[in-house]
Structure 1
Amino acid sequence: MKILRNKKTLVDYIERHREMGKKIGFAPTMGALHLGHISLYEQAKKENDEVISSIFINPTQFNNPEDFENYPQTLEDDLKLLEKTGVDAVYVPKAFDIYPEGLKSKHYDFDGLDNEMEGKYRPGHFDGVGTVVEELLRQVQPHNAYFGEKDYQQLAIIKKMVEKTKLPVKIHGVPTLRENSGLAMSSRNLRLTEKQRKEATIIYETLLKVKEWFKVLSVKEIKERVEKIFKESNFELEYFIIADEKTLKETDFFHKDKSYRAFIVAYAGEVRLIDNMHLN
């Protein structure tokens, strides 16, 4: 596995493989890798000749500087895991490789996708995501790029950014990988205590109940039940919504011709956990 530590070595590597006619698959990460990330590379390996990873903790998508400071850095372990997975190359840029003119996000028109859910709680977050992903896609020039459905809103935003910037890449969503307990795999899980980790199954279990209730109850009744579950738990519910999968707008009524997804964000102590589930 090649480790590409600056933009020039990456560009040379990409040019060489493109000249050879290789199809390139890519999944960017912020490190602290787990099996959820690995599922992206396993998918990429099936559909491409060359699989590339990147590890870069992007400062412009953190609203809270403490979150950025506390983000787990496990580069050596990450590189070993990527090599074992059969990734061909990993790009580990410095901040100036991505932001040559300083740490500043571009501003995007995401057709309102960024105003929903996470956008309300994390202003500017998606401009940071769009900026880093656009820059990485321009540098890596992949044919296919892979992102997890756990961050479903992020996936929708990236698809919209690619559509608007007309980048020649196909974006693939890969289903959420879960621990045996049902907890969605996330780098943030490393910050949970053993007790919190066990209790965090409440999020997945609640989503399964919502999927059942969706068939027989109104949105209002479902919301009341979810709020009650979290009031009686050790978790603080930041928000629960059911949204149209295309627009991500919260719905208060189910239309037969639309697809819906339930989203939960809750705090275990100071650790913010997110999850979602397709309902129809």
Structure 2
Amino acid sequence: MPIIYQQISELRAALQPYRGQRNDKPDNAQRIALVPTMGNLHEGHLELVSIAKQYADIVVVSIFVNPTQFGEGEDFDSYPRTLDEDVAKLATVGADYVFAPNVDEMYPVLPPSTSVLAGAITNQLCGQSRLGHFDGVGIVVSKLFNIVQPDVAVFGQKDYQQLAIIKQLVRDLSYPIEIVGAPIVRAADGLALSSRNQYLSAAERKTAPVLHMELQRLAQKLAQQLTCNKQGMQGFDVLLAETHQRISDAGFNIDYLEIKTDQLGTIDTIDSSEANGNGKSSHLMILVAAWLGRARLLDNQLVTVH
């Protein structure tokens, strides 16, 4: 069973011996991995832990519903807190420590006086409708990195924009941490696993897989278009509009549906003529956020054109 700590000082003291081994006996280095979560864990989170164990000797899972990344009217108060069930699940995949602080422990002053801002990358996609969300992510992830001081941290690719922001944060702030992006874990019908899926009614849950199906359909059409060099980028708007309509007709309220480069740049930075020449590949990301009832669902699909 994982050992639970709620105090920063206690967790640091527990991890210090592994750092001592690392410093004094480099041949017996103990690598530490961090898996940050907000709890209410599902199979996707457990897969993150399993991946972390491939990269490190000790795995710390943080469980903290972070108030600074929730906007006004969002579900901070109602977000499920299921610590006992979460710890039991983490025991099945071999997590070593759980860090489950309360808000006062993480934020002696709230809102915090210090900000960690991610810049222009936040001014798109989720950042357009969730103002300040990624600033909250930046501060809490920075705090967790400083508290745990991991060698590696594992994040899911479902939150693709968040993953890109964290990679930028690590680069810009010179954290000596390897960031691992874990593939999306899906239900058998293709729905990306998320804690917020429990907000779906039975009827909505039957509809929800349409989101992934339509992304797959769009990805196939984009790949065909680029491979055949038909219309190039000019045809993307038509395909996007068609997909937008199909998703809306299924009952979703779309926040955004966009095509980006895999670095979240604009697609006009890719020359479609290179997609099938000289062995080069183009990589595009289709990203979507859409409401289905009370649930805001995220998904993405990589498109690789050789």
Change (3 A) 1:7 1:270: same
> Which AA in structure 1 matches 2:176?
P
1:194 aligns with 202
Work out whether residues 188 and 271 of structure 1, in 8 Å CA contact, stay in contact via their aligned partners in 2.
Answer: yes
> Which AA in structure 2 matches 1:251?
I
> Which AA in structure 2 matches 1:243?
K
Q: Which stretch of structure 1 is more off in the superposition, 190-199 or 134-143?
A: 190-199
Which residue of 225, 229, 253 maps to 1:236? 253
> Deviation at 1:211?
1.1
2:223 aligns with 215
Work out whether residues 257 and 289 of structure 2, in 8 Å CA contact, stay in contact via their aligned partners in 1.
Answer: yes
Work out whether residues 105 and 128 of structure 1, in 8 Å CA contact, stay in contact via their aligned partners in 2.
Answer: no
CA distance in 2, matches of 1:167, 1:252: 32
Q: Which stretch of structure 1 is more off in the superposition, 192-201 or 134-143?
A: 192-201
Work out whether residues 60 and 105 of structure 1, in 8 Å CA contact, stay in contact via their aligned partners in 2.
Answer: no
SS of the residue 1:112 aligns to = helix
Q: Deviations over 1:212-239 (max 9, x none)?
A: 1102442112111112202321211221
* RMSD of equivalent CA atoms: 1.6
Work out whether residues 241 and 250 of structure 1, in 8 Å CA contact, stay in contact via their aligned partners in 2.
Answer: no
> Deviation at 1:105?
6.9
- Whether 1:255 and 2:278 are equivalent positions in the alignment is no
Which residue of 150, 163, 174 maps to 1:142? 150
Gaps of 5+ in 2: 23-29, 226-234, 275-281
2:164 aligns with 156
CA distance in 2, matches of 1:105, 1:41: 32
Work out whether residues 25 and 143 of structure 1, in 8 Å CA contact, stay in contact via their aligned partners in 2.
Answer: yes
SS of the residue 1:96 aligns to = helix
> Deviation at 1:107?
3.4
Q: Which stretch of structure 1 is more off in the superposition, 174-183 or 98-107?
A: 98-107
1:120 aligns with 128
CA distance in 2, matches of 1:241, 1:195: 27
1:72 aligns with 80
What TM-score comes out, normalization by structure 1 length? 0.95
> Deviation at 1:98?
1.7
What TM-score comes out, normalization by structure 2 length? 0.87
> Which AA in structure 1 matches 2:218?
V
CA distance in 1, matches of 2:168, 2:217: 31
Gaps of 5+ in 1: none
> Which AA in structure 1 matches 2:180?
H
Change (3 A) 1:105 1:36: farther
CA distance in 1, matches of 2:286, 2:217: 11
1:94 aligns with 102
